[in-house]
Amino acid sequence: MNKKHLKLGAIAFVVWYVISRPEGAASLVNSGLGGLGTAAESMSQFVSAIP
């Protein structure tokens, strides 16, 4: 199996998941974006603390 087949399989799975469980997909995206926001805030605090 090559990378193209794996990529197409992953895309098909994401599409299936979004269609079959839209609430779960939205929750997953929301928590992921929340984590990115927390990471950005932590980096901001770190850079601000550097003299």
* Domain boundary assignment for the chain: 3-49
* Distance between CA atoms of residues 25 and 39, nearest Å: 21
- Arithmetic mean of pLDDT, 30-48: 93
The confidence score (pLDDT) of residue 25 equals 87
* Distance between CA atoms of residues 37 and 26, nearest Å: 16
Give pLDDT tens digits for 1-36. 688 999 999 999 989 988 998 898 889 889 989 999
The confidence score (pLDDT) of residue 1 equals 66
The confidence score (pLDDT) of residue 2 equals 86
